């Protein structure tokens, strides 16, 4: 008889516009999630796992076309080849077909990622090209949209739905059924992962039920949401003692973001470009320690076993992070879980202030 698959939750930002602080005449730019930071996890675990997909609000996420650049597919070599590949595309003699033929391994990896998207998610929208997007993407984007347009739309749960279902004693859903949660980056998480009480509640429920949480690139800004939870009446409250603060967090450093704003796709040509905040600074302001490295282009992972939280600093880390996730799953004993769904959901006590403590 076939063995039942394990379960994992893939949580994706559904933000489609990234606010800018500068220039004043450009309020936001088109954004989305980086498929490269999710596809490797799908590839590694698809034979053993059934995936559940969610976004904070239940709306479909948007694929960031800039994450499909061939330079991003080089993973650990991304930092070294991004500028040279961009320069190749700026030459007058640039030809898309010749450019792709010179980088067959990168084209092959991108194709593999799209097939994983087709197999597991379905049709999702694609972000708009930006003035500083790589020229090859101007040809690739309509090809991709045409291809995805033939697929059925993907289905996504909202975090509020999942939390309420977890609390419902007659609903079979429980966070305890998930072995891990993985969340890709791209700039989109900056919009709906910061200080989001429903996200905070979902992460705490995952922690309480022994779920491993994997966040990469900009997605680690989600840890700021763990300052918040949702009480039994559906009201947010501030956590007084946050176990997640034990974790050091690896994420995109300010210096890396400034480099991208100066040379890469977020830049508004000819103008100083700034985001509304920097992810690493927001994480530090929330009370967390940062994992740092002098080489910002190298993969950097951080894992805190007490809360089963794994973080990585960008697309260059996704292969190592996926391998580490597999290793943690294999070596970490299962967390104690009460038998029966109602027990595993934690007892809720209402305190005089109307807040709850689990």
Whichever domain contains 306, its CATH number is 3.40.50.880
What per-residue confidence (pLDDT) applies to 348? 37
Alpha-carbon torsion (74, 52, 231, 243), positive or negative = negative
Tens of each residue's pLDDT in the chain, 358 residues:
556 889 999 999 999 999 999 999 999 999 999 999 999 999 999 999 999 999 999 999 999 999 999 999 999 999 899 999 999 999 999 999 999 999 999 999 999 999 999 999 999 999 999 999 999 999 999 999 999 999 999 899 999 999 999 999 999 999 999 999 999 999 999 999 999 999 999 999 999 999 999 999 999 999 999 999 999 999 999 999 999 999 999 999 999 999 999 999 999 999 999 999 999 999 999 999 999 998 999 999 999 999 999 999 999 999 999 999 999 999 976 555 443 454 444 433 333 333 333 3
Would residue 136 count as lying in a domain? no
Cα–Cα dist 5/9, whole Å: 13
- Total domains in the chain come to 1
Would residue 191 count as lying in a domain? yes
Would residue 1 count as lying in a domain? no
Q: Mind spelling out the 3-state secondary structure of 13-80?
A: CCCCEEEEEECCCCCEEECCECCHHHHHHHHHHCCCEEEEEEECECCCCCECHHHHCHHHHHHHHHHH
Would residue 204 count as lying in a domain? yes
Would residue 87 count as lying in a domain? no
β-sheet bridge partners, residue 229: 237
For residue 234, which phi and psi values (nearest 5 degrees)? 85, 15
* Alpha-carbon distances, residue 245 vs 72, 228, 248, 321 (angstroms): 31, 13, 8, 21
The neighbour count for residue 186, using CB atoms within 10 Å, is 30
Would residue 193 count as lying in a domain? yes
| Domain membership of residue 188 as a residue range | 6-60+154-332
Tokens 């038998």 sit at which residue? 339
Calculate the CA 64 to chain-centre distance: 12
Would residue 236 count as lying in a domain? yes
Would residue 35 count as lying in a domain? yes
Contacts made by residues 236-243, CB under 8 angstroms, sequence distance 24+: 236/197, 236/200, 237/353, 237/355, 237/356, 239/200, 239/204, 242/287, 243/207, 243/306, 243/307
Tokens 């960008």 sit at which residue? 314
What per-residue confidence (pLDDT) applies to 354? 37
Tokens 């040379």 sit at which residue? 263
């Amino acid at each position: 008889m076939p063995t039942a698959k394990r379960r994992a939750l893939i949580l994706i930002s559904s933000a489609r516009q990234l606010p800018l602080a500068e220039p004043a005449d450009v309020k936001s730019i088109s954004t989305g999630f980086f498929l490269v930071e999710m596809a490797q996890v799908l590839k590694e675990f698809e034979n053993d796992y059934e995936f559940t997909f969610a976004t904070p609000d239940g709306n479909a996420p948007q694929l960031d076309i800039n994450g499909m650049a061939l330079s991003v597919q080089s993973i650990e070599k991304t930092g070294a080849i991004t500028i040279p590949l961009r320069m190749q595309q700026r030459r007058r003699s640039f030809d898309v077909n010749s450019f792709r033929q010179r980088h067959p391994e990168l084209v092959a990896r991108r194709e593999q990622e799209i097939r994983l998207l087709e197999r597991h998610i379905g049709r999702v929208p694609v972000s708009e090209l930006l003035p500083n997007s790589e020229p090859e993407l101007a040809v690739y984007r309509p090809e991709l949209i045409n291809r995805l347009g033939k697929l059925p739309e993907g289905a996504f749960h909202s975090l509020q739905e999942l939390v309420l279902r977890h609390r419902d004693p007659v609903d079979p859903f429980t966070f305890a059924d998930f072995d891990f949660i993985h969340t890709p980056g791209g700039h989109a998480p900056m919009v709906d992962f910061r200080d989001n009480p429903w996200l905070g509640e979902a992460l705490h429920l995952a922690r309480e039920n022994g779920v491993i949480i994997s966040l990469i690139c900009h997605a680690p800004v989600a840890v700021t949401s763990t300052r918040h939870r949702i009480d039994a009446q559906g009201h947010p409250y501030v956590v007084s003692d946050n176990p997640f603060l034990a974790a050091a967090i690896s994420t995109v450093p300010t210096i890396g973001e400034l480099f991208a704003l100066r040379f890469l796709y977020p830049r508004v040509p000819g103008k100083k470009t700034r985001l509304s905040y920097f992810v690493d600074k927001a994480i530090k302001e929330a009370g967390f320690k940062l994992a740092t490295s002098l080489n910002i282009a190298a993969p950097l992972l951080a894992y805190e076993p007490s809360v089963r939280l794994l973080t990585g600093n960008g697309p260059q880390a996704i292969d190592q992070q996926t391998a580490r996730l597999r290793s943690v799953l294999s070596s970490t004993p299962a967390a104690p879980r009460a038998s029966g769904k109602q027990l595993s959901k934690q007892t809720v006590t209402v305190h005089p202030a109307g807040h709850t403590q689990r």
